[in-house]
Structure 1
């Protein structure tokens, strides 16, 4: 890993919090992700399953975590099964976790090699009544691939059909959505790396540059600060490309007079940041571009103030819709008749602002969090309104990541990243 080691106290606390919610005499199992093949002997870069990472800090393939708080044998209350390392593996693949290193990383004392898993599992399965399996129940999940977790669950249910089954996901949705200070510090670091990348491109962008050249500059800056790179597939959308919400080709030349909509951000230690900014290719917004830009910025600022403990996500979006409707009326994009005759299921403002304003962010870009439950302190949300005007050849989106506070206004993790139109012009022309 490129990143500095995370304080294992985070993982010790996360396991304690998870086990406190488990049923009596129950056991929970979490698997790492596979390394996914491409073709021949090519594979995709390994990405650890966020749940086992959250509970153990283990960022390595072929790993299993077992939690059994009521186990009669104390040493089996927390177990890690790891791929056995040796000198040959160290030479060909790089060093894997030793049992000592796994303890240092996770705080888990009992570490077995994976070859002992079935034998140890048989012993502890005879001592428990319920097994927590880990399914992906995120509201945006659409998974066609059978995961390592899926295969393990299939094996477990076939081998031990008499055990009751419970779900880990509802517990994890609640736990992972509320960030520990260690997590907030890591996310702040990811945002700080993103800031470095954004400031770099403000000095780089000029008429004639290609979108992929800007992407390369960002990747350079992210990597040199110990990030693996982009937190998600980057969007660098000049001109009318900005009106394609998930434009990722990044293969067009940027022309004077156009805007570039960026949805780009760095990850750090598997935690994500998520930034949107919109800048002028030639360093100056037109009057109309600035008028729309400032409208989006006002919506973002007012929407941020609504992110307080107790707010319901669905109601929040209704309120943001009212803010956006007011701005679109002021810009002449909507008139009163449009609003009076709107379809309540697809309000008039949706013609120009068709996506949601906020989502949870953390170990995943669209992180865990139960949207039907009220917001709580130490949840982290994006705030990302936009106005998209294909007829005028541009779209504008602005986005920051903010931490909900118990009593104060949300804390902006991206407070140091330039956003005011005049500041961006000054930096691009400085």
Structure 2
């Protein structure tokens, strides 16, 4: 394992918080993700189911977590079912968790092998009234691929058709949205690793370098510091490519006089960072580039002040839209006629700033959390305004990750260079 795992008390507390939300005689079941195939006998790197990980700390395929708080036999109120290792698996893949190791990591006292699941689960179901099952209910998800949870839902409903079935996703969204101190430490580490990568890139970037070479510099720094790599497909976009919001080819040569937009973040211990920076390829902003950069930076700083307890993301986005409108007027990209005649459903500023400003971040980069519920202390959000002027080959996005506090916020990326002067100074002081 590359990362130092969270203390088991984090997962014990997470399960305790979930139990308080479950009705009497309920049982909750969460499955690990599948190992996804590529072609022939190839597989993608395994990524655990984040809901199950949040409750157990177990980062292993085929595991099942069952929580039945009111079951008469106390030893069966929390159970982890794991894939049993053997000599062949140990030789080809490495040994899996032992029961003792699983208990040490999760705090779950009862750990059984998967071969015991059907019998034990039937025993629990005979005393249960309500069954909470898991699905991926992210607002932006397109669930084309059947998951282990999805298959289990079909099997469970077929075998136990008369139970009351409910969704656990809304409960998990509320729990996961507010981060514990241990989770924030993991996210801070991911942000610190991202900082090291960015500083490395500032010393590397120059005209003639390929976008994928910049990507390689980040990856080198991330992996050498204990990350498994990028939290998401990195965007390394020079010139006009920066105006393509989800550009990930990263294949072009960087040109003198262009800007390079980078949307990257390191993963650490299953937690993620999400950073955007835009830098001049030759180390100096032009006058026009600097004006646009400063406009985006002003919106970013003011937007951070608006992410306060009690606000909601839709209302916050409306307020940020007004900030961006002001800046676009100052840049003469909009005029008062554009504002007066705009479509309220698609305001004029969206021609140059067409995406949202903030989203939850945590175990998922676009983390779960209900955007219509009030913001609470302990939530973590990105703040990422941008201006994209396709006619001028200018695309600028700036993004930090911040923790909401009772009064104010903590910027997890406060040590990552952001001011234009600092970026230019670092780029021009390299040997």
- Same fold by TM (over 0.5)? yes
Partner of 1:307: 307
Give me the whole-angstrom Cα distance separating, in 2, the residues matched to 1:75 and 1:166: 24
Distance 1:87 1:3 in 2: 26
What is the aligned partner in structure 1 of residue 126 from structure 2?
A: 126
Distance of 2:369 and 2:202 partners within structure 1: 34
Paired residue for 2:417? Answer: 418
Give the equivalent residue in structure 1 for 2:35. Answer: 35
Shift of 1:23: 0.8
Is residue 2:391 matched to residue 1:391? Answer: yes
1:43-192 alignment runs, 5 A limit: 43-192=43-192
> Could you tell me how far apart the structure 1 residues matched to 2:377 and 2:5 are?
26
Q: In the alignment, which residue of structure 2 is the partner of 1:349?
A: 349
Q: Tell me the CA shift for residue 417 of structure 1.
A: 0.1
CA RMSD between the two structures: 0.6
Within-5 A mapping of 1:177-326: 177-326=177-326
Q: Deviations over 1:20-51 (max 9, x none)?
A: 10010000000000001111110010000000
**1: CA distance, partners of 2:57 / 2:107:** 9
User: How far, CA to CA, are the matches of 2:392 and 2:409 in structure 1?
Assistant: 34
Helix, strand or coil: the match of 2:139? coil
Name the CA distance, whole Å, in 2 between partners of 1:393 and 1:118. Answer: 60
CA distance, structure 1, for counterparts of residue 3 and residue 86 of structure 2: 24
Aligned length: 429
> Runs in 1 of length 4+ with deviation above 3 angstroms?
none
The offset of 1:312, in angstroms, is 1.3
Q: In 1, distance between residues paired with 2:389 and 2:124? A: 60
SS in 1 for 2:230: coil
Cα deviation for residue 88 of structure 1 reads: 2.2
Q: Distance in 2 between matches of 1:363 and 1:306?
A: 24
Query: Partners of 1:135 and 1:42 in 2: how far apart?
Result: 26
Cα shift readout 1:340-382 (whole Å, capped 9, x = no counterpart):
1111000010000000000000000000111111100000000
* Alpha-carbon distance in 1 for matches of 2:158, 2:19: 25
CA distance in 2, matches of 1:26, 1:89: 35
Structure 1 range deviating more: 330-339 or 85-94? 85-94
Structure 2: stretches of 5+ with no match in the other structure: none
Structure 2 CA distance for aligned equivalents of residues 347 and 161 of structure 1: 49
More displaced stretch, 139-148 vs 82-91? 82-91
Give the Cα–Cα distance (whole angstroms) in 1 for the partners of residues 5 and 138 of structure 2: 28
SS in 2 for 1:37: coil
For 1:371 and 1:213, locate their aligned partners in 2 and report how far apart those are by CA, in whole Å: 37
1:335 corresponds to: 335
TM-score, with normalisation over the residues of structure 2?
Answer: 0.99
SS at match of 1:48: coil
Distance in 1, Cα, partners of 2:161 & 2:77: 22
**CA shift for structure 1 position 143:** 1.0
Partner of 2:370: 370
SS at match of 1:290: helix
Which stretch of the first structure deviates more once superposed, 291-300 or 78-87?
A: 78-87
> 85-94 or 340-349, which moves further after superposition?
85-94
Name the residue aligned to 2:18: 18
| TM-score, normalised relative to structure 1 | 0.99
